A and B are shown apart, each in its own frame.
Chain A
């Protein structure tokens, strides 16, 4: 029987992912097999990290009786394969009406986040699970390619794996030989591309990779002598409290962890709700706040055992090569004075260079014995921390916040939980943290009165503050 339409493939990619090479391979493979085919694209400025597409049609009949008409654009109900090198590009093809129940979607699973997703101070990423569900529900078939997992240890790139998966899906009348011939013909990184191609073929034949599972949180365990204290809490909050205890022992010492438990118990005592949401939120946020990052903490984290080995791994070099490591610090007056007792703050000169928003730009060579020792000395100041100005300031702000939570709990349980969430404002370093703490102090100044007189307004204000703290503070104002 004579073919009555071309098989149509749309490739969605980001600049730099190799979508153009993939389209070239498909053209070469068709030529090798003897099928008429055509590809086209719109690289333009999209090659600079924007979204771009390549479109390919193959007529599934060798030596057809005439010249098949190929066209330039994908169309609804006429797309056989949507090959997305990044999953939201498959989603975009759905939005544009190209993917329907007659389309097989083959998609890489690894997200490449867009600038829009990166800019909010909170989590601006789109939700992956609903998107993958959508792709599955819309399409005829969904083939997932977990390239990281598939290419474990090989230098395979996603375009080669995708090429293999397209051929392996059997939708085009191309054989593995046709695909391999195309890769050899192009002559670029032939070995690794052939390896990637094979992985893709196998993946498609076995129905694709498994869906990605969300990486869970990893809870540290508290030492055994804290077991009794922690087990006194309801099951749902033990994990987080244990984690908090472990973190604060690492941060300071066991006594500091006990102070943490005391603080959590104050909140737990007034948590009347069966969900223990308030206890959970407070336990998480008190631990976070109590391990605020001062110079000592940063020095401790930067000299952690295993850090240098991890960085070598990231760089992909073994233990034998010399490694230079530079850490970027810019402490200002606040940071220097912060580690001193309040009475000694005058020791830090009041120069413009150290003024708030400014600071001393330091490049610390942590990879050298000298730089490492310097940070070790700073980290060793840990026992003095509880006398430092910043410590005292943070404890005061934390106490005010806890007071606000407790007062709110008496009036409105939900509001108290959201008040706990306000600790998001106590984040960051330098100006960011300072401004956040000032906002909290302003809000809590008249807290009790407002709980009585205008709780609805107050509640809305709390919501607003949380939302703002998660939004993109630089979003342009609309005119």
Chain B
């Protein structure tokens, strides 16, 4: 059976509608662009004359991928720009190989640090051979609030592969200018360039003056005339030794020279003769500025007495530039988000080598780890101003910070009880919820077992109310990560994986590995048709290509191709069936790898598709069901056992007026899509009979209407109405 995952599905749009946004990519010289940061950078790519773009979606970069996919027919194709949504970040990074031999510009994008991890193999090779065409890697840095990944720095990758790293000051015009400059840096240094954007920068709104889009000299419509062979561009000795030397003798120095000449880093000199100053990353510039303003040292426009060096190119540093800044200072503060404090250490090294007696503050005044938010940075800057400045500036900063702390303490003194935590969870009607309920129920029956989870929405199963899922090791790695768990716990390996994870890495690293190593294992694939967690992106098994044309790559054919025989489909919404099939799979320990494909479409996608269809049908007078679950308040026992197997946002609590009831009763709010899980749970766990499903037939046919009338009179006779 097929829950609607393949060709039957019509994919029209991604998570948001981009039509209005696409028109912004066509603005011409002198027109004003208004929009989000990530769209501005996309426009800058077109202004820079790229010949190809690609990437793998993931917040906060998803938007760029969506916009490009939507623009591929109308904008990219006429310009001869090749676009692909790569199957993984490694694939996206490998695209850049087109710029190794040929003078064509390209850009790829993904979420960092996780995507950069996946792309590392290609990146290391690319950074070794170097490029002739400008190559840009736009990184969506998911660090801090709202992040769904481990917290690490991308800086490490720049250092280890000698890839210049741009961390732009967050102002749309600046971001666009730096995007364009990055291609030039790439070409003069023959290195790919990282362009790092924090999550809030991607979603930042603003404006800039557009330029015309530039059709690249060589593109899919006017191809480069010949292939180029150059053995020195192959990463093999002795070329690889030469590459390593070239990085430090030619390439990075060229990047430094270009950046110095074009003032990529910005010096705000402050008051002449100041013997203190701040060096900040571009990305923390506005936060630092706000700190200075709050502490009485800057105005609303960023005019300040404090000398500031804003590093938009954070790797490599430019020693001369740093030396000049340090030269007349007694002390400086380095504002560097994340750890280790690479920038601060390098500055200290420069000062030490040049013999400049300057006190370098940084992580001694600001926290080692965590996002540099306004409060955090202001506290650090206040410490610095208090310790290293004199007179009015010092006194004002101390007084201002004390006043803020007093205001905070006064406010916090009113807090009595903590607010309830609100972790992310499955959406209303999500087809992945019933599987987690099935696993929870199975554990109640059979005892608890270890489950290896994957990246994606499925990971929410590890959170309340399900709490199933013990580990997560990376995208597509759940099955492989159970390798040594099963034998050492004396249990079958159990892994959950989304369809996104399956195609990203799960097939080769998980399935093939399990087959080859003869795993006793159960793999549950949640096939909802999209990489739902990134914002409903198409996958090889969605039924369409990234551009929306039909294609038919199925999970099952991939599995069969490597000899997996035990494959069972289960309707995600059938809890009893899911429980039974998983139970059967657990018991079939002599069958090697058993795969369960739980298949039903992502409810967000389905609603987005069905809502307009239904509205149309209703308008045209066709029969449409209006359905919803409900709870009979009088029957509800109020012990909330249904909630502990459900977690649906639309199944909630309601105050009851019944004096005999002490707890709030269950209630299904108007957000319900009637997915059926409430009824399934009531049956599977033998809960109270308070749930009902109501379906009204809108625009009924005449026979239906007549039968209904008859039914109604009978019900009236029995006291139903």
Contacts and interface: CB of A to CB of B under 8 A. Distances in A.
A175 interface: no
B99 to A, nearest CB: 31
B689 A72 contact: no
B587 to A, nearest CB: 17
Interface string A183-226: 00000000000000000000000000000001111110000000
Interface in A209-268: 214-219, 239-240, 243-244, 247
A38 B173 CA distance: 13
B695 A324 contact: yes
B286 A328 contact: no
A445 interface: no
A4 interface: yes
B688 A429 contact: yes
B608 interface: no
Contact of B415 (A95, A118, A219, A323): A95
Contacts of B287: 71-73
A46 B147 CA distance: 9
Interface stretch (A314-322, A384-392, A393-401, A402-410): A314-322
Given A287-B660, A428-B639, A322 B205 contact: no
Contacts of B203: 39-43
Contacts of B460: 48
Interface string B682-700: 1100111101111111101
Interface in A302-351: 302-305, 307-309, 311-312, 314-317, 319, 321-330, 332
Given A41-B200, A69-B300, A215-B657, A118 B694 contact: no
A62 interface: no
Contacts of A78: 290, 294, 374
Given A49-B649, A71-B374, A123-B663, A3 B403 contact: no
Contacts of A50: 422-425
B417 interface: yes
A441 interface: no
A474 B644 contact: yes
Interface stretch (A99-107, A162-170, A411-419, A448-456): A99-107
A28 B719 CA distance: 56
Given A284-B660, A328-B689, A120 B640 contact: yes
B402 to A, nearest CB: 11
Interface string B456-495: 0100100111010000000000000000000000000000
A366 B658 CA distance: 24
B290 A71 contact: yes
Contacts of B693: 325-326, 328
Interface stretch (B185-193, B235-243, B257-265, B405-413): B405-413
A381 interface: no
A298 B691 CA distance: 12
Contact of A376 (B440, B630, B653, B718): B718
B407 A361 contact: no
A275 B533 CA distance: 57
A131 B689 CA distance: 35
A309 B422 CA distance: 36
A465 interface: no
B644 A428 contact: no
Interface residues of B, number: 121
A6 B299 CA distance: 11
Contacts of B626: 315-317
Given A73-B374, A218-B657, A429-B637, A123 B696 contact: no
Contacts of B427: 15-16, 48-49
Contacts of B632: 301-302, 307
Contacts of B417: 126-127, 130-131
Given A366-B692, A428-B641, A219 B719 contact: no
B211 interface: no
B404 interface: yes
B519 interface: no
Interface in A126-160: 126-127, 130-131, 134, 137-138
Interface string A57-85: 00100001111111111111110000000
B208 to A, nearest CB: 12
B667 to A, nearest CB: 10
Nearest to B405: A76
Interface in B667-686: 671, 679, 682-683, 686
Contact of B641 (A44, A121, A328): A121
B284 to A, nearest CB: 9
A97 B407 CA distance: 9
A465 B711 CA distance: 49
A109 interface: no
- Point out which of B299, B457, B630, B689 has the most chain A C-beta atoms below 10 A from its C-beta: B689
Nearest to B657: A218
Nearest to A136: B414
A44 B147 contact: yes
A92 interface: yes
B381 to A, nearest CB: 12
Contact of A114 (B205, B300, B374, B422): B422
Given A125-B664, A216-B657, A373-B718, A42 B698 contact: no
B232 interface: no
Given A48-B457, A121-B639, A71 B404 contact: no
A119 interface: yes
Q: Which of A70, A99, A288, A293 has the most CB of B within 10 A?
A: A70
B225 interface: no
A258 B323 CA distance: 96
Contact of B698 (A71, A94, A117, A321): A321
A116 B421 contact: yes
Contacts of B695: 323-326
A73 B652 contact: no
A124 B639 CA distance: 11
A438 B14 CA distance: 55
Interface string A429-442: 11110000000000
B205 A72 contact: no
Nearest to A239: B659
Contact of B411 (A66, A100, A332): A100
A194 B712 CA distance: 40
A5 interface: yes
Contact of A72 (B201, B635, B655): B201
B696 A317 contact: yes
A115 interface: yes
B354 interface: no
Given A3-B300, A123-B664, A432-B639, A330 B421 contact: no
Which residue among B301, B408, B420, B651 has the maximum number of chain A CB atoms within 10 Å of its CB?
A: B420
A114 B463 CA distance: 12
B721 A311 contact: no
Given A303-B719, A432-B639, A361 B576 contact: yes
B635 A293 contact: yes
A424 interface: yes
A358 B576 CA distance: 12
Contacts of B679: 326, 328, 363
Interface string B632-652: 101101111101100101011
Interface of A: 3-6, 14-16, 27, 31, 37-46, 48-53, 55, 59, 64-78, 88, 91-92, 94-95, 97, 99-102, 112-127, 130-131, 134, 137-138, 214-219, 239-240, 243-244, 247, 284, 287-288, 291, 293, 298, 301-305, 307-309, 311-312, 314-317, 319, 321-330, 332, 357-359, 361, 363, 366-369, 372-373, 376, 424, 427-432, 470, 472-474, 476
10 contacts: A75-B374, A76-B375, A92-B419, A112-B649, A126-B420, A215-B655, A243-B659, A322-B707, A328-B692, A372-B714
Lowest 8 CB-CB distances: which A-B pairs, in order?
A42-B146, A50-B424, A322-B708, A75-B374, A369-B714, A66-B301, A44-B146, A73-B374
Given A46-B424, A100-B408, A369-B715, 5 more contacts: A69-B289, A78-B374, A115-B423, A218-B658, A307-B720
